[in-house]
Structure 1
């Protein structure tokens, strides 16, 4: 064996970069099963709200352009600033791996969504993801392109 192999050959992927580089590790495949896994991740969040008694309607719309819209009448993703990151709750949930209200914070007594990879992985693998949250009589919106937040010129 002549090829050198040392620590400088190692690559460390951080955050959502790892998801985009190896999506199969997170959602099982790049095909239809992976797409269904992503859809169920978001749907599970709505179901968890309903099971917890915080929601009473879930709507799933399959659009002709290939996009999917999931709406629910739950509490909505927190929009206030998460103190450790300085980011809004929406940005934390959709951009940070292993972030959410299902890890012992008392928000959910039971959760169907803990078996999955979370909204951040769905966001990282989505060409475009738009979030709209209705809380406290106000509407908050945030858009992402492959996991990165921003403002985009197109309408959707």
Structure 2
């Protein structure tokens, strides 16, 4: 229900859910570095330099630590509170607890308030209560959270992570979240990549263009915000001399492969704008000519990214 399937897609969705928590910290302005590591033992670690998951005792949860509640109780995350995360992706407060429940084992390390807090679980149940010790930086991170988990082989059809699948998604996230540095390592075969794009979706479009010859030299970029409704829209596009259309759309960094009103609205606006420009500047031999959408989108490479409050 929560991750969609127990096949290879569901397996990798576990990683995405943990990474999405780090992305939420980045969107809130508290994180700019994420590291994903596929371990030799089949586990995966996701590390960030955000504020760290809270560890304080919660009176309304029988004194359990906030860390334990976040990792074991559905909807305990901060994503339902607009004051905590204005924008977020993932499963909206259930992601990490679902990852925990579907893992043979999971360990959480939190670097916060000058201490390292650690807690371990097996299939969602606590196996090692919360402990703390004086802080020492790890791998250059002096604050944040590390979640290390090994998927449950009795649940998933496969528990072998695919580096190419994960690195593709990490690249997407780095494009969509300007300035965030995302590293990915595979200890099994020494593969690694570092993704960091100050140009955001402009660079994403250049990546989509590949070796295609552009019609115009620069990527066109548009950005608008609706403060009242807490919505931000980014569009980047460039035409190539090919015939194919390549448009990717995202909402809160989630790939909306089936499209939606954001894609349809973009297509309609693009067709309308080009037709208006052509007629106003006498670019059409016949004044009655109106270009169709498929004509306007020939050779188009574009990325549409919408960020909307939960």
Quote the Cα distance in structure 1 between the aligned partners of 2:55 and 2:92: 25
Structure 2 gap segments, 5+ residues each: 130-149, 151-310
Q: State the distance in 2 between where 1:53 and 1:126 align.
A: 30
1:51 maps to 2:37: no
Give the deviation of 1:151 after TM superposition. 2.9
| Corresponding position of 1:35 | 11
What CA distance in whole angstroms lies between the structure 1 residues aligned with 2:117 and 2:93? 26
Q: Choose from 76, 88, 111 the match for 1:99.
A: 76
Contact 1:131 1:141 in 2 (8 A): yes
Native 8 Å contact 1:27 1:117 kept in 2 = no
How high is the TM-score relative to the length of structure 1?
Answer: 0.77
Matched residue, 1:120: 97
When residues 134 and 49 of structure 1 are mapped into structure 2, their CA distance, relative to the original with a 3 A threshold, is same
Equivalent positions of 1:56-75 (< 5 A) are 56-75=32-51
Q: Distance in 2 between matches of 1:133 and 1:106?
A: 22
Q: Secondary structure at the match of 1:94?
A: helix
CA distance in 1, matches of 2:65, 2:110: 12
Deviation per residue, 1:18-40 (Å, 9 max, x gap)? xxxxxxx2212112111111111
Counterpart residue number, 1:7: none
1:148 is matched with 125
Aligned pair 1:109/2:86, yes or no?
yes
The answer to whether the 8 Å contact 1:41/1:117 transfers is no
Equivalents in 2 of 1:101, 1:119: separation in Å? 12
Query: For the Cα contact (< 8 Å) 2:75–2:93, is it kept in 1?
Result: no
Give the total of aligned pairs: 129
Superposition RMSD in Å: 1.9
Distance 2:91 2:43 in 1: 24
Tell me by how many angstroms 1:76 deviates.
0.6
Ranges of 4+ aligned residues in structure 1 off by more than 6 Å: none
Partners of 1:28 and 1:34 within 8 A in 2? yes
> Based on CA coordinates, which of the two structures has the bigger radius of gyration?
2
**Greater strand content:** 2
